[in-house]
Amino acid sequence: MTATGAARVWQRMDRLERATCLRINRGCRGSAVHAVFVAASRLGDGLAFLATVGSTAPFVGLFGTVWGIYHALTAIGIAGQASIDRVAGPVGEALIMTAIGLAVAVPAVLGYNYLLGRNKLIMEKVKLFANDLEQVIVSGSRVEGSGAKVISGGKK
């Protein structure tokens, strides 16, 4: 159906039919918007936790480093002299804690960024689908492809 054909059909309708069509259109749009929000909410589940892990894990590693250095300095204070055997153990533990913090943070941040980008692409597709579905319901015609023109009665 062309734009002029749709305009003619609209002009032939009486007021009640027009109001009914507008109510159906608003209802379809509201349902589509709700479904898009539900999909976005489900896709976002767990991302906040992943972001929190990615941002706090380096600080946990840093705390481990500070703890290890503290133990090294305590061992030096007790021994009265700085020898390699007194410092090596606590400093080694500190480096291991730093490495563990980074080993947790880097994959968490990479995973968060990957999932965020993937979710944006999925939401674009969901919005296009909701728009196409609304066009089909409101116009009564098939839609060919995402964001394509409405086809009246023809085969794909």
Taking the mean position of all CA atoms in its chain, how far away is CA 5?
42
Residue 155 pLDDT: 44
pLDDT at residue 75, as a whole number: 81
Radius of gyration of the chain measured on its C-alpha atoms: 31
Note the pLDDT of residue 117. 92
Helix crossing, 84-139 with 47-79: angle to 10°? 170
Whether 111 and 50 have beta carbons less than 8 Å apart is answered as: yes
- pTM, two decimals, is 0.61
Q: What is the mean pLDDT of residues 13-40?
A: 73
User: CB of 72 within 8 A of CB of 94?
Assistant: yes
Look up residue 151 and give its DSSP letter: E
pLDDT digits (tens, 9 = 90+) for 96-155: 888 888 888 899 999 999 999 999 998 888 888 888 777 777 676 665 655 555 444 444
Residues whose CB falls within 8 Å of the CB of residue 146, separated by 6 or more in sequence, listed in order: 125, 128, 129, 132
Residues 67-90: pLDDT tens digits? 888 888 888 888 787 778 777 888
Q: 143 phi and psi, to 5 degrees?
A: -120, 130
The pLDDT value recorded for residue 22 is 65
End-to-end CA distance of the chain, in Å?
15
Strand partners, 150: 143
Rounded Cα–Cα distance for residues 101 and 106 (Å): 9
- Per-residue buried b or exposed e for 39-53, using 16+ beta carbons within 10 Å of the residue's own CB: beeebeeeeeebbeb
pLDDT at res. 128: 85
